[in-house]
Amino acid sequence: MDENEEKRYTHSMSVEKVREFLRPFGRDNDIIEFPSSSATVAQAAADLNTEEGRIAKSMSFMTASGPIVIVLAGDARIDNRKFKDLFHEKARMIGAEDVERLTGHPVGGVCPFALPDDVKLYLDISLRRFDAFYPAAGSTNSAIKMTAEDLERIAQPEDWIDVARVPE
């Protein structure tokens, strides 16, 4: 198996892991898969014919207590001051080479589902501006439509937090 085949296999395994995670909620067949990468907010928004804010991006950080994933609106940015005030440390993104090992999902496919037990999940209030949005579903070419209530019920985050800046 060459490197590209291995990546495709690993990415499809991540989607299958998410599908299994969603099955008890009756959402396993709601995953949308695209023929090409939707790993960036702009690509995903174009593929879904929606505004970038509705793409729920999952960002991975390393904290003193371990890895965390924060899901925020696609048009929002992490506010370093808010992050430091909440977590009492500087925001340090997990390096691309460690993302899959720590989150169980590839870069561009990190999502709020089927995370390892030691990864804490937080949802940013920037998502609440939308009636529905699209987090990734475990690969660089997948997404699933969710409401804030669905995401909270299914993903069971630690909490809703306010660490993002949204455009005016």
- CB-count burial class (<10 Å; 0-12, 13-18, 19+) for 168: exposed
Which CATH number belongs to the domain containing residue 59 in this structure? 3.90.960.10
DSSP for 128-162?
Answer: GGSS-BEE--SSTTEE--B-HHHHHHHH--SEEE-
Please tell me the pTM assigned to this model: 0.91
What residue numbers bound the domain in which 142 lies?
A: 3-165
Q: Report pLDDT digits (tens) over 89-112.
A: 999 999 999 999 999 999 888 999
- Number of independent structural domains in the chain: 1
Residue 14's pLDDT band (cuts 50, 70, 90):
confident
